[in-house]
A = this chain, B = another copy of it.
Amino acid sequence: MPRAVDRDERLDLISDAVASVASQRGFDQVTIRAVAEHAGASTSVVTHYVASRDELLRLAVRRLVARRRADVTRVVDVADDGGAAGGAAALRAVAEWAVLGAPEPDHRLWLALVTGAQRDAVLRDELDAFNDWWDGLLRDLARRTTADPDEVGRMVDAIDVIVDGLIVTGFDAGRAWSSRRRGDVLTLLLAALGL
């Protein structure tokens, strides 16, 4: 199916160009023209797949997010043996992956997405959809560590704060902390949750 492969490759190329422009200059600067230039293509290649800037953002963010969801799902599957301790092990593994395993450009893209979602409804919708999925995943795992629903809620909130905090401190400080430094803080704070 050469045509299908070609289509998928082109959509990846476009999505990666959106990611690059957004990470480097912010989502405000993501336009069909800027993305085509970055991908080394004509704007008609981009407009062959998307009719508007909104469609471009939606398509690209969905594809980028889908990849990360697949990564997270794999991490959970490896860590979770299905037993009583599997929930805690998977929560720890997901937090470690997000903070230490995800590549630096992903962190940059996430910050651009959080910032951009303040003023763009398409980005807001896509970020909400990802967060719903992410929090649902964490909640299901947390429920296997405690029967108290309040404790489940606090655990999910705390993991979100720890992960978001460890990602954003790198940008706050101007460069990412070393893996060891992030790992030390992660271990310390996850211990507070019994993880």
Q: Which chain B residues lie closer than 8 Å to A49 at the CB level? A: none
Q: How big is the A interface, by class?
A: 35 or more
Q: Does A114 count as interface, using CB distance less than 8 angstroms? A: yes
Count of this chain's copies in the oligomeric assembly: 2
Whole-angstrom CA separation of A127 from B192 in the bound complex: 30
The answer to whether A59 has its CB under 8 Å from any CB of chain B is no
Q: Which residue of B is nearest A99, CB measured?
A: B161
Residues of B within 8 A of A127 (CB): 172, 174
Q: Is the CB of B192 within 8 A of A191?
A: yes
Known contacts: A25-B119, A115-B115, A154-B184. The answer to whether A189 contacts B162 by CB under 8 A is yes
Would you call A158 and B172 a contact (CB within 8 A)?
A: no
Question: In the complex, which of the residues B115, B119, B157, B192 contacts A181, with contact meaning CB atoms closer than 8 Å?
Answer: B157
Report B-chain residues with C-beta under 8 Å of the C-beta of A117. 171, 174
A–B complex contacts, Cβ < 8 Å, 22 sampled: A26-B26, A26-B115, A28-B29, A111-B114, A114-B168, A117-B171, A117-B174, A127-B172, A127-B174, A154-B184, A154-B185, A157-B185, A158-B185, A161-B162, A161-B185, A164-B168, A164-B169, A168-B168, A188-B192, A188-B193, A189-B189, A192-B192
Taking A28-B28, A128-B174 as known contacts, 18 extra A-B pairs with beta carbons closer than 8 A to each other, sorted by chain A number, are: A24-B119, A28-B29, A111-B115, A117-B174, A118-B171, A124-B174, A131-B172, A131-B173, A157-B181, A158-B189, A160-B165, A161-B162, A161-B166, A165-B165, A165-B166, A188-B192, A188-B193, A189-B189
